[in-house]
Structure 1
Amino acid sequence: MRFEVVIWISLVWAGLLNASPSGGTATFTKLKLHIESHPVSSPIYHGYTAHRFTVDNFASEKKRITFTLPFRGISSEDFNIRNITRSFTISPGSQTVTILQPPLPMGWIEEVKITCDGQQRSIPRGIALRMSETLNCGLHQPRVVFVSRSINQTTMEKAIKACAPKGGGSGSSGPHHYHGRGGPHSDVHAEFLSSGEDLPKWPRHWLAYSCYDMIILRGIEWNQAPSDIRSAIERWVLCGGKLAIIGSGYSPPSGWKEPDDTPLRNIGIGEVKEYESDSENTFKEIALWLGADDPENNQGTIPIFGGLQKGVDALHHTWNYNDRDFNSYFPVIGEARTPVRLIIIVLTIFVLLAGPVNLFILNNKGKRAWFLWTLPAISFATSTVVFVVSFFSEGLTPRLKTQSLTLLNQIEQEATTLGAIAVYAPIAPSKLNFSGQTEVTPLFQGRERGPFGGSRQRDSGSNRQVEWSAGGEQRLTGKWVGSRVPAHFAIRKSEHREERLQVDWSGAAPKIINGLGCRITRLYLSSPEGKIYEGSEIGPGKNTLLKPVAGGLKSKTSKDNSTTSLAKQIADLADQDSVNTISPEKVPPNCYWAQLSEPSPFLEDPLKGRNSRHRTSGHIIGILAQPEDLP
């Protein structure tokens, strides 16, 4: 027993001596637990923040520990997360755990609370507060680039400076927090973060990479990385990331169109470029890919669906006042109005009853002293009527509007979804539920005119908290949605899914079985030869024979005709009337485009379990296996 204690104490001291100077540690002596934090201090402008901890369990049994960060949440901060909690069951040995923070600031306290078996410890500098922006979609912000430790960061920074227009600033990396606050453009094109770890120790969840605009690594590193890390980076690419691979060794996922005469490969909504070596010309090409030669440095946002993209482009500025809000770009409550005329009529009746009518009746009865209690009674009754009329004119049922686009690679069984969600609730919901693979970006507008000129921001929410369940689901608790104030969320997600459209090509026309789990309003299917077929109103599980599209249309054979280009066109024209202007010829061979008028199975309902008035539309772009590859 003494020998075990001595060994354990030695290990703890070794951890303390080798701890990162920027992090901190906590020790549960009796429980034989040691926790070390690994904060990363570089700023980010969109996406999730990954807070990582190494837990050493020297005991012989499992331990369940709970992290709360920060230690003391500040509930008075506008547009902030108060705290995040997550519990882990730690087996004997060493384990690295990750706690993900949605894209909102989280106050200024960096202390972390750790609880185990009723005991409590804290790490004074357990986290780094990387997200400081309420305008959290990356518009006009520096591109944040994550670089493998094998890549020479200094050389990459020099390439950025060399490509930057003369007189347009340094174009270099660095903590330039003033970016985007004084105008629409910045001298800073990119900020680099070099990994302090080898690729096999990188995060295993795609949301840990969602804050980066580009990742640069070597092909040999990719080839030797564990499959779950490659999968996480691939999901990040599918959701819009840019991956630069130097040297051979990269193996792309199946199903995506091969590049013709360019190193650029479209995968999902993202892009991959392969370079032969880390020459000076390679770093120059990467700098140009980052847009370092753009004199205005117009950094766009993360991929956002439909009207919310237009709203972010118009509202996420701090230099220009805009009297519109996100509800005007993605309306969820446009048809509801307070019954002003009815309330005026009620108040007019109150004035007549409480004054002349009341006095006339009391005077005839000789009870004028009763005026002291009849007036308050009539006032209370009128106030109740006004409240009931105004409150119940909208009802108690919340309104929900969702739109989504899913790229479903049936070969890899991977679904990538862009979504837009708007919620309006007379009574604020206490909880919103989302998958653990979903990036949830709450959207707030940039400026609102103040009462004396100038500007101000108003936060209709409060006490925002995030609870990660044991199964990895995220629950947004507190007031993420204010009462009677529309709330909007941009969604990105990529996950393993087994839904599919089964196609039988054996006959003169294809037969399909709808295995997508929802009704298809309209379906366009392109054969491997490019001939297009269509069908409509296909229920889940239904077997349907498709017919050729009128006019014998075929898929276009141009270089830009791909699932990625079709997805971007649908995302830009998310309004149903506009989407209908897209020709079926845009569907690439051996792919399909399904239009939905009921909730998509790939986009979660944040109000699940509650009745709501749900308006929805959705699209699924599917990639089929080649007929010869089918079992």
Structure 2
Amino acid sequence: MHRAILRGRSAFRMSSLVWIMVLAFFVAVSGESLARTFGDIRVVAQDNPQNTGTTHGYLQYEFLVTNSSSSQTHEVTLELPGNSYRFGGDALESITRTRKIAAGDSVIMQLLQPPVPGSGDGLAVYINGARQKEMVSFSFRSDHGQNFYMHSGSGIVLRVSRDVNQGELDSLIEKVWGSSSHGYRSTPTVKTNKTFKPVSEWPRNWLAYSAYDSIVVEADELDRAGSAVKQAVADYVRAGGSLTVLGQSKPDPAWGFAESSREELLQDGARVSYVGFGSIAMLTDDNAFTSSDNQTLIRTLKDEVWDKSKPKLIADSVQQANNSFAVIEDMSIPVRGLFGLILLFAVVMGPANLFILSRKKRRIYMLWTVPLISIAASLAVVFYATFAEGWRGFARHGAVTYLDQSAQRASTVGIAAYYSPMTPSGGLHFDFETAVLPVGLNRQHSSAGSMRTIDWTNDQHLKSGWIFARVPAHFQLRRVGPSRLRMNFERKDDKLHAGNGLGKDIHKLWYADDAGDIFVAADIVAGQEEVMMRDPNMSVASADSDAFRKVHERRWNNATTSVITSPASYLEPNSYMAIIRKPVFVEPALTNLKENNHMEVIIGSVKGGRNGS
């Protein structure tokens, strides 16, 4: 009996040892597959986003690149995916970034994937321009953005911090919607993405959070984070995201938000504050998700907070996009001019040619005059069709910006549209602080599409496949960044003077003073002052607490129009609204423009106001 037990124990030990060895082998293989050495250069994958059905925003991949040389600097380029496959429709072919790494240095290189699906695998590495034969094994999230353009299964995705009890949250979600949070349903569900890194090690760029509909975090975790992480999370909220905080009743100014009075009660123990274009849900109970009694709370969070972070596409096709936000009024072929050229060709080559040669008694010359006239006519048609609109492109921008002068942060949502008679060789250039959502993406696998490339070396460079000759290209934009621009308001001799410090001429300006009275002025030159007149028919009493959140929720092609038609709904004491027809916070991504139809509406908070952020 004892021997049998001993034999059983021995077999158990051997079996356990075998499993440990097998597990160690797979861990070693997995670890090695996510890292590879190429001579002096070693590349290690640091962060790999989970595949949780993200549909918009950017996914960030991080790689640690080390140069072990003692004397030589190397130029390293990373390309994701290393192998790209085409499967129909518009797709992402590659994401690249290049850095020069000094001898003995280690740098973190980030690659951000826009919401464009693709297909491929591996990470390719180029050293001093030469592609290495081997690749780093790495999973590329090929379906990111897929459901957003196909209008199917676009559920809510939460980024859940390490200290939040994900199991209890998933259990509560399942009780409310009757399915696992990781499943797909025709009705939007809530999916959770657990992050095991402490908040203090989270990304420092707001674009890395933009794929999530909300960040769920414990208040003390956010307290322990560094200023750069707090700033990135705050910028994510300002750009239209949502933050769900457990264990605190109001946002802490140390998180990067000034105290805001623009708040509403969701239910007992839960309030929502509106900051920029986003919102912060504060839950006083840090165990809010551990009780099944909170089903009402989680439904409210989904409907009133989480479900409002996803931007709405203005159109499903290129034609629809141009109809809703026209960059060029007439996309048709210049038929009249071409018909005139063809008619002239017929007359010259036929009757005119025959008449002239008959009079000169040189009809035999038709053997060479007819081909010559045909060639000249063909060239004329080509040149006319090519250059009727000229070489330079057309652009149209419409954007709404909330400028918090006290925090020196500017948050922008809007549309950028471009049209070029010739395909631009340099592609499009956006900065590192702008989230770009292409409109009219073709996701039909059975049809041909364009393969798109993006490079992050010097800026956000949409290199190829994003814009073509005579085809409008539309993009929905979200941008957050620092800004020292400001308006100054001062009373002199019982008159209100407005000083334009926004850097561009103001077409029209509204300002609400401490008492809520609204003043109006027009045509204020940059750097100059203008006297404002009180409008007796306007006041800020009708201002909505979530007015900016509603701008983000709606389709942005009409954002500027809807805002300027009702200034009182957006103004609050010590705030202003300015219409500017030159680029301020949205710079054209296409250079050498023939025409730039530009409108920015800037809504600024002078002293924090009710939208202090």
TM range (shorter): 0.7 to 0.9
Show the counterpart of 2:240. 240
Pairing 1:393-404 to 2, within 5 Å after superposition: 393-404=388-399
* Partners of 1:24 and 1:123 within 8 A in 2: no
* Partners of 1:464 and 1:477 within 8 A in 2: yes
Shift of the 108–54 alpha-carbon distance from structure 1 to 2, 3 Å rule, reads: same
AA matched with 1:194: K
Shift of the 270–351 alpha-carbon distance from structure 1 to 2, 3 Å rule, reads: same
Cα offset, 1:41, TM superposition:
3.9
Worse-superposed segment, 420-429 or 329-338: 329-338
Please say if 1:142 is aligned against 2:155.
Answer: yes
Cα offset, 1:234, TM superposition:
1.0
AA matched with 1:428: T
Whole-Å Cα distance in 1 between the matches of residues 569 and 163 of structure 2?
45
Show the counterpart of 1:183. none
SS in 2 for 1:510: strand
Please say if 1:588 is aligned against 2:572.
Answer: yes
Please say if 1:46 is aligned against 2:56.
Answer: yes
Show the counterpart of 1:110. 122
| Unpaired stretches in structure 2, ≥5 consecutive residues | 1-23
Whole-Å Cα distance in 2 between the matches of residues 187 and 401 of structure 1?
36
Whole-Å Cα distance in 1 between the matches of residues 505 and 607 of structure 2?
22
Whole-Å Cα distance in 2 between the matches of residues 88 and 108 of structure 1?
23
Residue by residue over 1:139-185, the C-alpha shift from the partner in whole angstroms, topping out at 9 and shown as x without a partner, is: 55111111112222232222222222xxxxx4432264xx6xxxxxx
| Unpaired stretches in structure 1, ≥5 consecutive residues | 1-13, 165-169, 180-185, 317-322, 449-454
Q: Give the one of 383, 392, 396 matched to 2:378.
A: 383
Show the counterpart of 1:466. 454
Whole-Å Cα distance in 1 between the matches of residues 520 and 34 of structure 2?
60
**In percent, how many aligned pairs have the same letter?**
25
TM-score, length of structure 1 as denominator length = 0.80
AA matched with 1:601: V
* Partners of 1:38 and 1:127 within 8 A in 2: no
Residue by residue over 1:379-438, the C-alpha shift from the partner in whole angstroms, topping out at 9 and shown as x without a partner, is: 212222222333332222211111111110111111001121111100111221111111
Show the counterpart of 1:163. 176
Show the counterpart of 2:15. none
Please say if 1:68 is aligned against 2:50.
Answer: no
Q: Give the one of 258, 261, 273 matched to 1:265.
A: 273
AA matched with 1:622: G
Worse-superposed segment, 503-512 or 526-535: 503-512
* Partners of 2:397 and 2:417 within 8 A in 1: yes
Shift of the 329–98 alpha-carbon distance from structure 1 to 2, 3 Å rule, reads: same
Please say if 1:123 is aligned against 2:100.
Answer: no
SS in 2 for 1:174: coil
SS in 2 for 1:375: helix
Paired residue total: 570
Worse-superposed segment, 147-156 or 136-145: 136-145
Pairing 1:541-620 to 2, within 5 Å after superposition: 541-551=527-537, 553-556=538-541, 560=545, 564=549, 571=556, 573-574=558-559, 576=561, 579-584=563-568, 586-596=570-580, 598-608=581-591, 610-620=592-602
Residue by residue over 1:74-101, the C-alpha shift from the partner in whole angstroms, topping out at 9 and shown as x without a partner, is: 5896422332221235575765432112
* Partners of 2:452 and 2:466 within 8 A in 1: yes
Show the counterpart of 1:623. 605
* Partners of 1:339 and 1:390 within 8 A in 2: yes
TM-score, length of structure 2 as denominator length = 0.83
Whole-Å Cα distance in 1 between the matches of residues 282 and 508 of structure 2?
38
Cα offset, 1:543, TM superposition:
1.9
Whole-Å Cα distance in 1 between the matches of residues 33 and 294 of structure 2?
32
AA matched with 1:35: V
Cα offset, 1:575, TM superposition:
5.8
SS in 2 for 1:427: coil
SS in 1 for 2:234: helix
SS in 1 for 2:170: helix
Whole-Å Cα distance in 2 between the matches of residues 138 and 268 of structure 1?
29
SS in 1 for 2:412: strand
Cα offset, 1:604, TM superposition:
1.3
* Partners of 1:115 and 1:121 within 8 A in 2: no
* Partners of 2:489 and 2:497 within 8 A in 1: yes
Shift of the 585–271 alpha-carbon distance from structure 1 to 2, 3 Å rule, reads: closer
Q: Please, what is the CA RMSD of the aligned residues?
A: 3.5
Whole-Å Cα distance in 2 between the matches of residues 343 and 138 of structure 1?
39
Residue by residue over 1:169-204, the C-alpha shift from the partner in whole angstroms, topping out at 9 and shown as x without a partner, is: x4432264xx6xxxxxx1451222111211112111
Show the counterpart of 1:26. 36
Show the counterpart of 2:205. 205
Cα offset, 1:468, TM superposition:
1.8
